[in-house]
Amino acid sequence: MRRLAATLLAATLLLPLPALAAGTLRIGTQEDPDRLDPALGGTFGGRFVFTALCDKLWDLKPDLTFTPQLATKWEWSDDGRALTITLRPDVTFHDGEKMTADSVAWNLERFRTAPDSVRKGELKPIAGVDVIDPTTIRIRLALPYAPLLAVLSDRSGMMVSPKAVERLGKDFFTAPVCSGPYKFTERVAQDHITLDRYAGYRDQAALHFDRVIIRPTPNATIRLTNLQGGQLDILQDLSPPDAAKVKADPKLKLATITGLGYAALNINIANGAGATSPFARDKRLRAALEAAIDRNIINQVAMEGLFTPNNQTEAPASPYHNTALPLPPRDLPRARALLKETGIEHPTIEIKVQNAPRDQQVAEVIQSMAAEAGITVKVAVGESNANIEAMNRGDYTAHLNNWSGRADPDANLSVYLACDSFQNWGKYCGPDFNKALEAGRAETNQAKRAAIYHQIASILAEDRPMLFLYNVTWLFAHSATLKGFTPIPDGLIRVQGLTMD
C-alpha cells in the first residue's frame, strides 16, 4: 500500500503543468469547484475561483467590516426594511457590456427566482428591487434582515452579464462572464482553471499578473511539494504538520489567520436511505458518539494544536458564542451508559470524508476513540463533488463537513441546518431551531441578537443534528518572492495587490 501511494504521488508530481504566460500567478487549492455560476455554486473551491473572477457589491476586510467593490456606498432605511445601494458607474462585464442598476436588479431577481438558483434561501426576505436611476437600486425587505450585508459580500452580491446568461442558458457555468479582475479562459476538471487579466477592469493598477492559474490539489503534501519546487506561488489550507517546515524554509513564507469556519459531523436525520440509521432515529446515540470523542485530542493529533476545539459554530471570542455551554470533556462511562439505555450497545456508523489527508486523519481519530465506547465507525473517502451528490441523494449516514464561515452568524447555521437550505443534506428541521433562526435574522440589536444565538446553540446541543468539532485556523504558504498577501478570515486569496519580486 505504501509503495502504491508513493508511485501515485510521484506520478501526480510529474503531471505537466499548463504553459505559463508572462506574469502568471499559480495558486494551489484543496478542492475542484462545482458549477462556476454564483447562482448555482455551493463549494469553497468555487468561492476561491470567484474571488478573482467575480467582484461583489462589497468585500470583507480583515476586521470583518465591508469595503466597496461594485457599490460605492449603501444605506439602511430607518425601519431596517430597505437598503439603498449606489453603484460604480465604470464597471463592465467581461463581454464588454456595461453594468447598470438594471443589470444588478436582474441578477438579484435571478438569484431569488431562477428554478435552479441555490441563493433563494439567503435572499428570501427580499420583497422586491427598485431601480431608482442608472446607478442606484433599492432593495425592499418583507422584514428587517440583519444578515443581508454579509450575504451581499458573497455569491449573492456577484454580478454576471445578463446577455451572457441569455446566450448560454443552462451552460453559463461552463464559460462564466463576470466583472472581476480576471476573465474565464479554460477549465480542465480536476487539473486547472485558467483566468486571464481583464483589460476593462476598473482598477488596473491593482493587477500585476497577466494570468491566474488555479490548481485544485486535494493532497496537501503534493500542494506543498509543488510550492517548494516552484510550480506554485501560493497555496491555501497548508497541512498543520507542515507549518514548521514552511517556517524553516527561507524560500517560503507562512501566513495565518483565525478563520470564520468550522468542521462538524453532519448526521443524516431524515434524508433518504441514510436516515434509516439508528443514529438518525435516536439522539441518545448521537450523544453517545459525542461523549466518546475528545476534541482537544483531535486538534493535537490532526492539527498540531493550531486550531480551536469547539462545540458551536461561533468561535469562543465571538459575542455569539454561548459561554454557558463549555467544551464537553470526553466521557466514556456516559457514552457506554447511553448506548445501553438505547438497547444498541454496539452500533455502526459510516462517516464520509473528502479525499484530503486532514479530513481522513480527523475521521480516523474519531474512529479510534469511538471504538473504545463500543461504536464502530467506518470511514468512506471520496472526492468532494461526489460526496455532495451522495448527500443530495440521502446516500450517507454522516459526513465531515468543512464550512469556510461567514461574517454573520446566521449563515454559519442556516447553510446546513435551515429547513429550506439546499445544503441541509441531513434534512434536520427542528421547529424551535427554525423559529429562533428567523428571530435572529430579524433582530438588528447586537445584544438581543447574541441572546438569540446563545439559545440556538443550546437547542443544537440538545438535538445534535451536527457535532461541531473545531474552528479553523487558515494556514497559507507562499513563495518569499510573492509580496502583498494579506490573509482574510474567510480564507480566500485576493489577487489584487499581489506582486512578484
Report DSSP letters for 72-98, one per residue: EEEEE-TTSSEEEEEEPSS-B-TTSPB
What's the distance, CA 272 to chain centroid?
25
Among 164, 185, 215, identify where a domain stops.
164
Q: What is the mean pLDDT of residues 4-30?
A: 58
Q: Are residues 455 and 311 in the same domain?
A: yes
**CA terminus-to-terminus distance, the chain:** 42
Return the ∠ at Cα 385 (arms to 367 and 313), rounded to 5°. Answer: 60
pLDDT digits (tens, 9 = 90+) for 109-167: 999 999 999 999 899 999 999 999 999 999 999 999 999 999 999 999 999 999 999 99
Q: Are residues 275 and 244 in the same domain?
A: no
Q: Are residues 153 and 179 in the same domain?
A: no
pTM here is 0.81
pLDDT at 13: 44
pLDDT digits (tens, 9 = 90+) for 344-398: 999 999 999 999 888 999 999 999 999 999 999 999 999 988 999 999 999 999 9
Q: Are residues 101 and 176 in the same domain?
A: no
Give the containing element (helix H, strand E) for 363.
helix 357-371
Sign, CA torsion 61/64/66/69: positive
Q: What is the mean pLDDT of residues 447-454?
A: 97
Is the confidence at residue 18, as pLDDT, over 60? Answer: no
φ/ψ bin of 64: left (φ > 0), alpha (ψ from -120 to 50), beta (otherwise): left
Residue type, 68: P
Q: What is the CATH number of the domain that holds 153?
A: 3.90.76.10
Give the containing element (helix H, strand E) for 132.
strand 126-133
pLDDT at 357: 86
What stretches of 74-176 show up as alpha helix (H) in DSSP? 101-113, 148-151, 162-168
Q: Are residues 356 and 235 in the same domain?
A: no
* Separation CA 429–CA 421 (nearest Å): 10
Structure-model confidence comparison of residues 101 and 444, the more confident one: 101
Is the confidence at residue 16, as pLDDT, over 70? Answer: no
State which residues form the domain around 10.
2-54+166-258+474-500
Q: What is the CATH number of the domain that holds 46?
A: 3.40.190.10
Q: Are 398 and 352 in contact (CB under 8 A)?
A: yes
pLDDT digits (tens, 9 = 90+) for 400-430: 999 988 889 999 999 999 998 989 999 999 9
Q: Which three cell numbers stand for residue 249?
A: 524554509
Q: What is the mean pLDDT of residues 316-337?
A: 96
Residue type, 362: V
Structure-model confidence comparison of residues 444 and 459, the more confident one: 459
φ/ψ bin of 23: left (φ > 0), alpha (ψ from -120 to 50), beta (otherwise): left
Q: What is the mean pLDDT of residues 78-107?
A: 97
Q: Are 254 and 243 in contact (CB under 8 A)?
A: yes
CA contacts within 13 A on the Cβ side of 144: 13
Q: Are residues 448 and 319 in the same domain?
A: yes
Q: Are residues 26 and 72 in the same domain?
A: no
Residue type, 151: V
Share of the chain above pLDDT 70, in %: 96
pLDDT digits (tens, 9 = 90+) for 4-13: 334 334 434 4
pLDDT at 102: 98
* Separation CA 55–CA 328 (nearest Å): 41
Task: List, in order, residues 6 or more apart from 288 with CB less than 8 Å away.
Answer: 334, 335, 336, 338, 339, 342, 373, 375
Is the confidence at residue 46, as pLDDT, over 50? Answer: yes
Q: Are residues 64 and 92 in the same domain?
A: yes
pLDDT at 493: 96
Among 113, 143, 164, identify where a domain stops.
164
Q: Are residues 218 and 247 in the same domain?
A: yes
Q: Are residues 405 and 466 in the same domain?
A: yes
Residue type, 95: D
Structure confidence at residue 22 as a pLDDT band (50, 70, 90): low
pLDDT at 3: 39
Q: What is the CATH number of the domain that holds 462?
A: 3.10.105.10
Q: Are residues 305 and 367 in the same domain?
A: yes
Structural domain count, the chain? 3
DSSP-derived 3-state class of residue 260: strand
Q: What is the mean pLDDT of residues 27-42?
A: 94
Among 118, 141, 164, identify where a domain stops.
164
Is the confidence at residue 205, as pLDDT, over 90? Answer: yes
Q: Are residues 196 and 250 in the same domain?
A: yes
Mean of all residue pLDDT scores within the chain: 93
Q: What is the mean pLDDT of residues 51-65?
A: 94
Is the confidence at residue 224, as pLDDT, over 70? Answer: yes
